[in-house]
Amino acid sequence: MRKASWFNIGSLALGLAFLYLPIVILVIYSFNASRLVTVWGGWSTRWYAELIDDRAMLESAWVTLRIAFLSASAATVLGTLAAIALVRFDRFRGRVLFSGMIYAPLVMPEVIIGLALLLLFVAIDIDRGFWTIAIAHTTLITCFVTVVVQSRLLTFDTTLEEAAMNLGCPPVKTFLTVTLPLIAPALASGWMLAFTLSLDDLVVASFTTGPGATTLPIRIYSEVRLGVKPEINAACTILIALVAVGIVCASLLTKFHDVGRGGVAGLAAR
Amino acid sequence: MTRAITQRSWGERLIVLVPYLWLATFFLVPFLIVLKISLSHTAIAQPPYTPVFDPGAGWNALAQAVSMLSFENYALLGSDWLYLASYLKSLEIAGGSTLLLLLIGFPIAYGMARAPRHWQPVVFVLVVLPFWTSFLIRIYAWINILQRDGLLNQLLLALRIVDEPSAWLSTDTAVYIGIVYSYLPFMVLPIYATLEKMDETLLEAAADLGCPNWKAFWLVTLPLSRPGVIAGALLCFIPIVGEFVIPDLLGSSQTMMIGQTLWAEFFANRDWPVASAVAVVLLCLVVVPIVIYEQMQTRDLARRT
């Protein structure tokens, strides 16, 4: 039955071309010597050299990485706890509200989340900047970690935990020595997904930012609004390369397939 | 395994309580604040609105505050054509692009699911990989292609399909392209997940009974893929309604989508109460699909535990 028909191969090939072509073009044009982005002036790395001198851009990159690291780590803890609560505890007070709050941010338009969080920060009167973005991102990405970890917990063999407990292992130790190592790959891919989502976010960061905390997407966005620039092509290419390296590293740690699954399939796995 | 014990240890309570409190504080409460501010008066001050009530002031003050609630912001939304136009525009673009995504995404998902077994992980990763690169970068890449002297026009001119460069950027077409491009994995993967699990002997049975391929597809494959199609459509439709970045960078400035209107009210006009009212109405537009999506998720979780 599994014959790859020409129609199937064709639609797959076209789909993949559609997905990859714009990125490939962007990367190629980042090596364009000409300042006019549409005229090919030969190969050159001058835009990369100019980028290294761009202090503001580097500073934004550093802020963005720190926020992404912090919020991905916090979201992994919160998201894992939430996943355990959803999978293991059948009923508790307010479970409907709980699962509602978990799944809603997956699809909720970002402008609403951004505005709502900003108004909260104004209401409790805290200085906006690094920490408010980190809190906002943690809230935004926790649900993605939950979905990824949850799908791992659902296929989890609970007899292993029971065996440990029958042998007199206390619950906390069982969790640390049996459960945690077994769900670790899901935590890793959940963390990675959360990290990239935080790196990527423009809308929520724009609402919750303050003086001194201009993240990379905010900076790139303000440049892009003014038109295409070769430096931005170079910056984007570096980001793409970083993500690619990250995925390769993760694939060496876990199976490649798992990392992919941790991504969108976390949402789709059903 | 689930535990139905009502008496729980402190550790187990903490597992629920910590994420619960976090989400209640940073997800639920903010929405109540948005609701509150959407009902308050606009003021030229910092923050630019008159507070409706002070929670510390007790019941009398609360009762007084309720009587001061103002629906002027909502009245403004109803009376100004600009807002209605941008809500309609958002629904139109979200509906249209969800349909397009379905038409493009289904064949891709079908191709993935029908690919030989040993290819599937590779194809899967190839489809997911672009999703990991920045959203903003992917939209930016399209500006390179779609601008007036961009590659698309160069290609069309070289092939002599058009005589002079046409405007692609700042059109609805560009917005549709950007949205379809960004949301494609969200449509493909849920459909692929259901198609992959489909029992192929059903198709063999249909073929054995003399059913032609296209009819088997129509009568067997399509109905069985329904959960994936619905999930994919919801995963795309809901966020697209509130989309900001794509229409802002690729679209025209004439009719704005509602996400852009909210953004403009907030950042350009600094009118926080109206921005909040826009957000509340936007939430009303997406609340029904969100509830359907959540019920699907919960039912799915219950089925698998």
- A-chain CB neighbours of B140 within 8 Å are 26, 220, 224, 228, 232, 236
Total Cβ atoms within 10 A of residue B224 = 16
Query: How far apart (Å, rounded) are the C-alpha atoms in residues B261 and B281?
Result: 12
Total Cβ atoms within 10 A of residue B83 = 21
Kindly state the helix (H) or strand (E) to which residue A207 belongs, with its residue range.
helix A203-208
Quick one: DSSP state of residue A40? -
Q: Any chain B CB within 8 A of the CB of A207? A: yes
Share of chain A above pLDDT 90, in %: 20
Query: How far apart (Å, rounded) are the C-alpha atoms in residues B101 and A13?
Result: 16
Q: Which one of A12, A105, A123 has the shortest CB-CB distance to B112?
A: A12
Q: A75: closest CA among A140, A31, A3? A: A140
Q: What pLDDT is attached to residue A257?
A: 45
Query: How far apart (Å, rounded) are the C-alpha atoms in residues A82 and A142?
Result: 9
Total Cβ atoms within 10 A of residue B28 = 15
Q: Which one of B3, B126, B143 has the shortest CB-CB distance to A90?
A: B3
* The residue to which tokens 């046409």 are assigned: B166
Domain at B80-304: CATH code: 1.10.3720.10
Overall domain count for chain A:
1
Instruction: Provide the pLDDT confidence category of residue A30 given band limits of 50, 70 and 90.
Output: confident
Query: How far apart (Å, rounded) are the C-alpha atoms in residues B271 and B264?
Result: 9
Quick one: DSSP state of residue A31? T
Domain ranges of chain B: 80-304
Closest-CA residue of B relative to A93 is B16
Contact B23 A112 (CB under 8 A): no
- B-chain CB neighbours of A16 within 8 Å are 126-127
Q: Any chain B CB within 8 A of the CB of A160? A: no
CA distances (Å), A137 to each of A73, A141, A210, B170, in order? 11, 6, 14, 30
Q: Write the burial class of residue B268 (CB in 10 Å: 0-12 exposed, 13-18 middle, 19+ buried).
A: exposed
**Residue B106 token pair:** 């289904």
Q: Which amino acid is at A141?
A: I
Contact B2 A89 (CB under 8 A): yes
Mutate to test the interface with A, among B140, B180, B200 (most CBs of A within 10 A): B140
Cis amide linkage into residue B47, ω under 30° from 0: yes
Quick one: DSSP state of residue B266? I
Look up the ipTM and state it. 0.82
- B-chain CB neighbours of A10 within 8 Å are 111
Q: At what angle do helices A6-29 and B172-197 cross, to 10 degrees?
A: 130
Range of the domain at A109: 55-268
* The residue to which tokens 């002997």 are assigned: B201
User: Is residue B55 scored above 80 in pLDDT?
Assistant: no
Closest-CA residue of B relative to A26 is B141
User: Considering the domain boundaries, does residue A19 fall inside one?
Assistant: no
Q: How close A184 gets to chain B, by Cα (Å)?
A: 18
Q: How close A159 gets to chain B, by Cα (Å)?
A: 9
Q: Any chain B CB within 8 A of the CB of A112? A: yes
Q: What pLDDT is attached to residue A230?
A: 80
Instruction: Provide the pLDDT confidence category of residue A38 given band limits of 50, 70 and 90.
Output: low
Q: What pLDDT is attached to residue B1?
A: 42
Contact B181 A19 (CB under 8 A): yes
User: Considering the domain boundaries, does residue A49 fall inside one?
Assistant: no
Contact B239 A108 (CB under 8 A): yes
Q: Any chain B CB within 8 A of the CB of A263? A: yes
Question: Which region among A43-47, A176-180, B204-208 has the lowest average model confidence (pLDDT)?
Answer: A43-47
User: Considering the domain boundaries, does residue A158 fall inside one?
Assistant: yes
Query: How far apart (Å, rounded) are the C-alpha atoms in residues B103 and B95?
Result: 13
Query: How far apart (Å, rounded) are the C-alpha atoms in residues B214 and B98?
Result: 24
Q: A21: closest CA among B31, B141, B136? A: B141
- A-chain CB neighbours of B154 within 8 Å are 38
- A209-239 pLDDT, tens digit per residue, is 988 789 988 988 888 887 777 888 888 888 8
Q: Which one of A116, A122, A199 has the shortest CB-CB distance to B31?
A: A116
Contact B249 A136 (CB under 8 A): no
Q: Which one of A20, A81, A119 has the shortest CB-CB distance to B19?
A: A81
Q: Which one of A116, A158, A232 has the shortest CB-CB distance to B34?
A: A116
Query: How far apart (Å, rounded) are the C-alpha atoms in residues B15 and B129?
Result: 33
Share of chain B above pLDDT 90, in %: 19
Quick one: DSSP state of residue A158? T
- Average pLDDT of the segment spanning B275-297: 86
Q: B140: closest CA among A59, A230, A247, A140? A: A230
CB B248 within 8 A of CB A221: no
Share of chain A above pLDDT 70, in %: 89
Share of chain B above pLDDT 70, in %: 88
Query: How far apart (Å, rounded) are the C-alpha atoms in residues A95 and B16?
Result: 9
CB B239 within 8 A of CB B166: no
Quick one: DSSP state of residue A175? I
Q: Which amino acid is at A149?
A: V
- A-chain CB neighbours of B142 within 8 Å are 22
Total Cβ atoms within 10 A of residue B15 = 22
Quick one: DSSP state of residue A172? H
Q: What pLDDT is attached to residue A270?
A: 31
User: Considering the domain boundaries, does residue A29 fall inside one?
Assistant: no
Chain A (129-148) residues lying within 8 Å, Cβ to Cβ, of chain B = 135-136, 138-139, 142
- A-chain CB neighbours of B131 within 8 Å are 263-264
User: Is residue B207 scored above 90 in pLDDT?
Assistant: no
Total Cβ atoms within 10 A of residue A164 = 18
User: Considering the domain boundaries, does residue A38 fall inside one?
Assistant: no
Q: What pLDDT is attached to residue A266?
A: 45
pTM for the structure as a whole? 0.84
Contact A15 B275 (CB under 8 A): no
Q: Which one of B126, B133, B245 has the shortest CB-CB distance to A240?
A: B133
Chain A (47-66) residues lying within 8 Å, Cβ to Cβ, of chain B = none
Query: How far apart (Å, rounded) are the C-alpha atoms in residues B232 and B105?
Result: 9
- A260-269 pLDDT, tens digit per residue, is 444 444 443 3
CB A105 within 8 A of CB A139: yes
* The residue to which tokens 């202090």 are assigned: A55
Q: How close A201 gets to chain B, by Cα (Å)?
A: 8
Query: What is the residue-wise DSSP string for A112-142?
Result: HHHHHHHHHHHHTT---SHHHHHHHHHHHHH
- A197-216 pLDDT, tens digit per residue, is 888 889 999 999 988 789 98
Quick one: DSSP state of residue B148? T
Q: What pLDDT is attached to residue B44?
A: 53
CATH of the domain at A201: 1.10.3720.10
